[in-house]
């Protein structure tokens, strides 16, 4: 049974604890064993908790977190092999013991403010001021556990006349058939270990493996000279080919990625083995590693370059040149994402660290989704590649066009009437057990309104599309006049979402601080407004559900109302979870304000349905933060009733449909009436009529369709400021 003793914080001094330190047990110590629990977060291996097992549990009575301090010495990153790719000198560090919990004979210390990579740490002492017998050093640690990284097996393969190849291999749980494989190259220095950052471990983490189970192979480039790397890359490729021959790896789904030096080796490996890889994902690649390679051979390989615009370690010009070289071959599979100064800073990455693009990119799932959609083989003999282009109009995500890239020119171009598009889709449901989707799918049919042919590409324009695309489980496009032009959703290699693709997404199960989407405009150093957009219940947590968030990031709106757009994700839609998410959200907003990126006088909040209810709750709970609120069909929650005095003089525009559920309609009306009675002259109320909604052909709860198409509401919001 767990007993919580005390949680507190105390930042110790840099002075070392006195006493003799040696391996094993210290004289007079009550400690039997010390287990260190680490994890590989975006910045690298960090220390999370320390479990101290004692001989006599009575010594733990009354123990407090504030009795402990931690200080030590650590190395940093270095270039030189003779120094072990570490800095020649150590530096002092401290960390905070933030909590102490007792479980029978074991004391569990929670660590915060640990800013080192644990594998760099040379020594440390944890001192207990209330009982010297509980003081210990790194030499007394009996076990270090790092989940995910520990799941890799380190193997060695010998080659005639060459140095051995050491590599780390993650094997998926159910590897009883050929599986995909990710070949992941580490960066320079001692990033060769799987604990340096998430460039390797991200592909083996539980959330990733649950969605895309695969092998992950990470070779150790022990000789980082150009010749040594060439040898190691070729050796690693030979191991992959051998795994294919052994029936372990799916030859159609072999991917390559890496960062910095590893990004350069990603491009080099792809260019010298273009027959092997289905796709490549180089992160801030060191161009020197592929300066002698013929990149035109990558014209047929999907490649996504990713780098920070202001990378100070690897000039982005080399990456841009590589991208343009491949693009110049006529490639329709090459992409490049440049993270702006604002995007990197919003994630909390310091200016001098903009080389660490893996921090921001690997907390997002878009890259894994793209990578694992690629296959080495063509769709069929006629079709090489299929791209689906979608957008999020007022009624939710729809398919606009489908691009078919052909292997050969067509003798005859089929007309639109030759194509049919049918499929199966889910609908919204209020049940979290089903992912907020209906238990069963239903059939649907969409129309192809136009077909255009140009430069080996066939573009199908989609007319009526009755579903929200993110609900679509499967679809099939059939061409009656040419069956080789038929394909299914499984054949789609790339899906674009206009505007939504400009958001960066962060997920806690990918080591993000919490789950949220953020649109970061280019501000040129100016503080701009921020719109907090709160989604409705069910699976409206994604940006494709409606335009409550997306409308604020639309280019036309950003032209006249430039702003950050923050959309937190409420996976747990309980009231209790909401306030935890509110706190995470407010911490992020305060951080953006403190960096001078967001104007503290112009922070706004809006949302629909559950998001409308949460708009009122957060608006009244964080008095003085928001310049204005605009809840859509949010009703009048009990939490807002308790705090109504906090917004008695605050600008708020309540939007409601006059045929909505009585609880929401009456609640919104009552909220406005009470604000009037309190003398709030800045409160406004607008009811969309049944005639307006019937004319638009929308459901009576879906007023965001009308509100987001009428600029008066956005104009009013942006006219409000705390400066007044």
Mean pLDDT of 57-76: 95
Other CB atoms within a 10 A radius of the CB of residue 455 amount to 9
pLDDT band at 242 (very low <50, low <70, confident <90, very high): very high
- The answer to whether 680 and 688 are in contact (CB under 8 A) is no
Q: What is the pLDDT of residue 85?
A: 77
Q: Is residue 13 predicted with pLDDT exceeding 60?
A: no
- Tell which residue, 18, 44, 23, 46, has the closest CA to residue 34: 23
* Gap between the Cα atoms of 423 and 203, Å rounded: 31
Span 665-718, pLDDT tens digits: 999 999 999 999 999 999 999 999 999 999 988 888 989 989 988 999 999 999
- The answer to whether 619 and 626 are in contact (CB under 8 A) is yes
Mean pLDDT of 285-313: 97
Span 372-402, pLDDT tens digits: 999 999 999 999 999 999 999 888 899 999 9
Residue written as token pair 């209906």: 438
- Least confident range from 189-203, 215-229, 389-403, 634-648: namely 189-203
Q: What phi, psi does 96 have (nearest 5°)?
A: -105, 130
Instruction: Give Cβ neighbours of residue 337 (< 8 Å, ≥ 6 apart).
Output: 304, 305, 306, 307, 361
User: Residue 406's beta-bridge partner residues?
Assistant: 383
Q: What angle do CA 588, 594, 598 make, to 5 degrees?
A: 75
pLDDT band at 11 (very low <50, low <70, confident <90, very high): very low
Query: Which fold would CATH assign to domain 383-497?
Result: Immunoglobulin-like (2.60.40)
* Beta-carbon-side half-sphere exposure of residue 43 (alpha carbons within 13 Å): 17
Q: In angstroms, how far apart are the furthest CA atoms of the chain?
A: 89
* Gap between the Cα atoms of 30 and 573, Å rounded: 46
Q: Which two tokens stand for residue 510?
A: 């990918």
Q: Is residue 1 predicted with pLDDT exceeding 60?
A: no
- The answer to whether 652 and 612 are in contact (CB under 8 A) is no
pLDDT band at 8 (very low <50, low <70, confident <90, very high): very low
Q: Is residue 316 predicted with pLDDT exceeding 60?
A: yes
User: Residue 550, exposed/middle/buried by CB under 10 A (0-12, 13-18, 19+)?
Assistant: buried
Other CB atoms within a 10 A radius of the CB of residue 599 amount to 20
652-657 and 628-632 as β-strands: parallel, antiparallel, unpaired? Answer: parallel
* Gap between the Cα atoms of 171 and 248, Å rounded: 10
* Gap between the Cα atoms of 21 and 23, Å rounded: 7
Rg (CA), the chain: 28
Report field, pTM of the whole predicted structure over 0.85: yes
Q: What is the pLDDT of residue 539?
A: 63
- Tell which residue, 359, 336, 363, has the closest CA to residue 208: 363
Mean pLDDT of 321-339: 98
Mean pLDDT of 88-99: 96
* Gap between the Cα atoms of 335 and 275, Å rounded: 20
Q: What phi, psi does 593 have (nearest 5°)?
A: -65, -45
Span 567-611, pLDDT tens digits: 999 988 888 899 999 999 999 999 999 999 999 999 999 999 999
Q: What is the pLDDT of residue 7?
A: 34
pLDDT band at 545 (very low <50, low <70, confident <90, very high): confident
Residue 104, Ramachandran bin (φ over 0: left; ψ between -120 and 50: alpha; else beta): left
Other CB atoms within a 10 A radius of the CB of residue 155 amount to 12
- Tell which residue, 310, 320, 304, 319, has the closest CA to residue 349: 310
pLDDT band at 294 (very low <50, low <70, confident <90, very high): very high
- The answer to whether 688 and 657 are in contact (CB under 8 A) is yes
> What is the distance, to the nearest Å, from the Cα of residue 522 to the centroid of all Cα atoms in its chain?
20
Q: What is the SS3 assignment for 355-369? A: CCHHHHHCCCCHHHH
* Helix/strand/coil for 342: helix
* Gap between the Cα atoms of 328 and 47, Å rounded: 47
CATH 2.60.40.10 given to domain 500-719: no
- The answer to whether 479 and 414 are in contact (CB under 8 A) is yes
Residue written as token pair 């990578």: 371
> What percentage of residues in the chain have a pLDDT greater than 90?
84
Cα torsion 483, 485, 491, 495: sign: negative
Q: How far apart are the first and last CA of the chain?
A: 55
Mean pLDDT of 250-271: 97
Span 465-506, pLDDT tens digits: 999 999 999 999 999 999 999 999 999 999 999 999 999 999
Q: Is residue 15 predicted with pLDDT exceeding 90?
A: no
* Gap between the Cα atoms of 721 and 724, Å rounded: 6
- The answer to whether 611 and 533 are in contact (CB under 8 A) is yes
Q: What is the pLDDT of residue 429?
A: 82
Span 517-536, pLDDT tens digits: 999 999 999 999 999 999 99
- The answer to whether 260 and 286 are in contact (CB under 8 A) is yes
| Residue range(s) of every CATH 3.40.50.1820 domain in the chain | 149-373, 500-719
Give me the CATH code for the 3-145 domain, please: 2.60.40
* Gap between the Cα atoms of 319 and 297, Å rounded: 16
* Gap between the Cα atoms of 584 and 571, Å rounded: 14
Q: What angle do CA 111, 116, 121 make, to 5 degrees?
A: 100
Beta strands in 129-210 (DSSP E): 136-137, 143-145, 153-159, 162-170, 179-185
- The answer to whether 649 and 680 are in contact (CB under 8 A) is yes
The DSSP output letter for 140 is G
Element (DSSP H or E) covering residue 478:
strand 472-479
> What percentage of residues in the chain have a pLDDT greater than 70?
95
Span 422-467, pLDDT tens digits: 999 999 887 777 878 899 999 999 999 999 999 899 999 999 999 9
pLDDT band at 540 (very low <50, low <70, confident <90, very high): low
Q: What phi, psi does 149 have (nearest 5°)?
A: -60, -35
- The answer to whether 314 and 287 are in contact (CB under 8 A) is yes
- The answer to whether 717 and 711 are in contact (CB under 8 A) is no
Mean pLDDT for the chain overall = 92
| Residue range(s) of every CATH 2.60.40 domain in the chain | 3-145, 383-497
Q: Is residue 5 predicted with pLDDT exceeding 50?
A: no
pLDDT band at 4 (very low <50, low <70, confident <90, very high): very low
Mean pLDDT of 194-220: 95
What is the architecture, at CATH level 2, of domain 149-373?
A: 3-Layer(aba) Sandwich (3.40)
């Amino acid at each position: 049974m767990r007993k919580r003793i005390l949680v507190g914080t105390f930042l110790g001094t840099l002075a070392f604890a006195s006493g003799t330190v040696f391996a094993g047990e210290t004289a007079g110590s009550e400690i039997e064993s010390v287990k260190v629990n680490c994890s590989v977060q975006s910045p690298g291996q960090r220390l999370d908790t320390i479990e101290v097992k004692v001989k006599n549990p009575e010594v733990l009575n009354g123990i407090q977190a504030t009795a402990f301090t931690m200080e030590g010495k650590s190395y940093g990153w270095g270039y030189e092999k003779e120094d072990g790719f570490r800095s020649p000198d150590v530096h002092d560090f401290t960390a905070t013991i933030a909590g102490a919990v007792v479980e029978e004979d074991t004391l569990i210390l929670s660590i915060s403010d640990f800013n080192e990579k644990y594998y760099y740490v040379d020594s440390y002492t944890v001192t207990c001021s209330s009982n010297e017998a509980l003081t210990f050093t790194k030499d007394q640690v009996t076990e270090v556990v790092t989940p995910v990284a520990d799941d890799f097996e380190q193997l060695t393969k010998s080659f005639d006349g060459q140095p051995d190849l050491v590599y780390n291999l993650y094997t998926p749980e159910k590897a009883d058939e050929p599986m995909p494989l990710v070949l992941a190259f580490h960066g320079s220095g001692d990033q060769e270990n799987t604990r340096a950052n998430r460039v390797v471990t991200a592909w083996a983490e539980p959330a990733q493996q649950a969605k895309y189970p695969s092998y992950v192979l990470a070779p150790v480039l022990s000789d980082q000279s150009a010749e040594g790397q060439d040898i190691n890359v070729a050796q690693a490729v030979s191991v992959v080919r051998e795994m294919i021959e052994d029936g372990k790896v799916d030859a159609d789904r072999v991917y390559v990625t890496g960062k910095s030096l590893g990004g350069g080796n990603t491009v080099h490996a792809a260019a010298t083995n273009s027959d092997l890889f289905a796709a490549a994902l180089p992160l801030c690649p060191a161009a020197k590693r592929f300066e002698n390679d013929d990149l035109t051979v990558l014209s047929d390989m999907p490649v996504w370059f990713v780098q920070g615009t202001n990378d100070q370690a690897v000039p982005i010009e080399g990456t841009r040149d590589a991208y343009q070289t491949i693009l110049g071959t006529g490639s329709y599979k090459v992409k490049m994402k440049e993270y702006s100064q604002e995007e990197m800073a919003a994630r909390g990455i310091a200016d001098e660290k903009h080389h660490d693009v893996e921090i921001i990119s690997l907390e997002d799932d878009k890259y894994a989704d793209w990578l694992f959609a690629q296959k080495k083989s063509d769709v069929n003999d006629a079709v090489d590649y299929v791209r689906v282009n979608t957008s999020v109009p007022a009624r939710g995500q729809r398919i606009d066009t489908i691009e078919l890239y052909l292997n050969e020119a067509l003798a005859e171009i089929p007309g639109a009437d030759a194509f049919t598009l049918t499929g199966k889709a889910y609908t919204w449901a209020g049940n979290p057990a089903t992912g907020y989707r209906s238990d069963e799918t239903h059939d649907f049919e969409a129309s192809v309104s136009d077909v255009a042919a140009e430069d080996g590409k066939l573009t199908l324009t989609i007319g009526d599309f009755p579903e929200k695309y993110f609900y679509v489980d499967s679809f099939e496009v059939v061409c009656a006049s040419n069956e080789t032009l038929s394909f299914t959703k499984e054949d789609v290699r790339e899906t674009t979402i206009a505007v939504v693709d400009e958001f960066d997404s962060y997920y806690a199960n990918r080591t993000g601080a919490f789950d949220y989407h953020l649109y970061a405009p280019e501000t040129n150093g100016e503080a701009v407004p921020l719109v907090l957009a709160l989604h409705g219940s069910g699976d409206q947590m994604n940006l494709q559900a409606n335009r409550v968030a997306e409308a604020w990031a639309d280019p036309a709106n950003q032209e006249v109302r430039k702003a950050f757009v923050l959309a937190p994700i409420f996976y747990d839609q309980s009231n209790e979870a909401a306030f935890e998410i509110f706190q995470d959200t407010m911490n992020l907003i305060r951080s953006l304000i403190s960096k001078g990126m967001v104007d503290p006088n112009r922070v706004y909040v809006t949302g629909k349905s559950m998001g409308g209810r949460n708009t009122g709750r957060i608006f009244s709970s964080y008095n003085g933060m928001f310049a204005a609120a605009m809840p859509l069909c949010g009703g009048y929650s009990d939490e807002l009733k308790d705090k109504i005095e906090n917004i008695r003089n605050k600008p708020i525009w309540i939007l409601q449909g006059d045929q909505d559920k009585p609880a929401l309609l009456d609640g919104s009306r009552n909220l406005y009436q009470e604000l009037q009675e309190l003398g709030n002259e800045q409160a406004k109320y607008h009811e969309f009529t049944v005639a307006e909604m019937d004319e638009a052909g929308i459901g009576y709860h879906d007023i965001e369709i009308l509100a987001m198409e009428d600029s008066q509401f956005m104009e009013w919001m942006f006219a409000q400021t705390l400066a007044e």
